[in-house]
Amino acid sequence: MHLYDYAKGLVLEAGNNLRQWMTEALEIETKSNPNDLVTNVDKAVEQFLVDQITTTYPQHQIIGEEGHGHDVASLEGITWVIDPIDGTLNFVHQGENFAISVGVFKEGKPYAGFVYDVMRDTLYHAKAGFGAYQNERLLEPVADTALAQSIIAVNANWLAGKPISPVLEPIVSASRSTRAYGSAALEIVHVATGQLAAYMTPRLQPWDYAGGMIILNEVGGVATNFLGESLALTHPNSVVVGNKAVHEEIMSQYLQPQHDFLTALHQKYHVKK
């Protein structure tokens, strides 16, 4: 079976499993802080994906949120970057608004991206160079917008007295309005579909954006860190994604003038340069 078709089927199967496992007892643990949660379902979904991939493609590398491949430094060959549940807080509290996110890379280059909105049974997927889809519907190129006429996504926690707040607040004020969905993968695909014009966060792990950024690329969107650099797959980064026009406006008018401050802040958030 073609790798892309295999990956697509695997993500859908993982989603079916997830919906079944949701009906069983949920075990919740905290990770880095009381709001950083992981459940037995997160672990089960990742283990299912890892087991299937390693059985079918034993030579492939896997980087997964819940412990697999965190020491991967080289992206030679084929690498899968997996988030079994992106939006675990939503999963725990709402039972929806979360996604399975998978990015597949060949020699470090994008090959295929998948973001599965599990409870809406909506799969966003793309093979590099062949367009992006929402289920079976081909997505149109994302339209350019001006920030003043745009809805953007920012987690409000970053606006509440954090060091980055003075940088983000003017961008929020200049936009038409702001939303927070609690799942980076879904927020990135919302940019790809035009529901959002941009999404920003000062710190994000590769498994949160690996699948979504491939989909975004296929509709002409832009994904960089706050310094305008490409997003790395082996360490966390700041992230700003958007249609080309609003991304350029955010970068040139708000982020580039703060370059020295943002460079220092990258070090504060332990983002490797």
For the stretch 140-162, pLDDT in tens is: 999 999 999 999 999 999 999 89
Q: Judge whether residue 117 has pLDDT over 90.
A: yes
Distances in Å between the Cα of 113 and the Cα atoms of 17, 125, 185 are 20, 5, 11
Q: Which two tokens stand for residue 54?
A: 């390693």
Detail the DSSP E strand segments found in the chain.
28-30, 37-39, 61-64, 78-86, 99-106, 109-117, 122-127, 132-134, 137-138, 151-154, 177-179, 198-204, 222-224, 237-242
Across 94-119, average pLDDT: 96
The answer for residues whose C-beta is within 8 angstroms of residue 176's C-beta and 6 or more apart is: 148, 149, 150, 151
* pLDDT 10s digits, 12-32: 999 999 998 888 766 766 655
Is the overall model pTM greater than 0.75, yes or no?
yes
Q: Do domains 3-138 and 147-271 have the same CATH topology?
A: no
Has residue 273 got a pLDDT over 50? no
Query: What is the homologous superfamily of the domain 3-138 according to CATH?
Result: Fructose-1,6-Bisphosphatase, subunit A, domain 1 (3.30.540.10)
Q: Which of 60-69, 128-137, 217-226 shows the lowest mean pLDDT across its residues?
A: 60-69
Return the CATH class of domain 147-271: alpha beta
Q: What is the pLDDT of residue 206?
A: 94
Phi and psi at residue 66, to the nearest 5°:
-90, 35
Domain boundaries, given as residue ranges, for the chain: 3-138, 147-271
So what's the pLDDT on residue 235?
A: 86
At 268 the pLDDT is: 72
DSSP state of 227: T
Q: Residue 7: what pLDDT?
A: 98
Instruction: Determine the average pLDDT of the residues in 237-252.
Output: 97
What is the H or E stretch that residue 171 is in?
helix 165-174
In this prediction, residue 158 carries a pLDDT of 93
Q: What is the mean pLDDT of the chain?
A: 91
Annotated binding site: 65, 83, 85-86, 208
- pLDDT, residue 190, reads 98
Q: Which residues are annotated as a binding site for Mg(2+)?
A: 65, 83, 85-86, 208
Residue 239 above 90 pLDDT? yes
Residue 28, phi-psi category: left (phi > 0), alpha (psi -120 to 50), beta (remainder): beta
pLDDT at position 59 is 95
pLDDT number for residue 30? 67
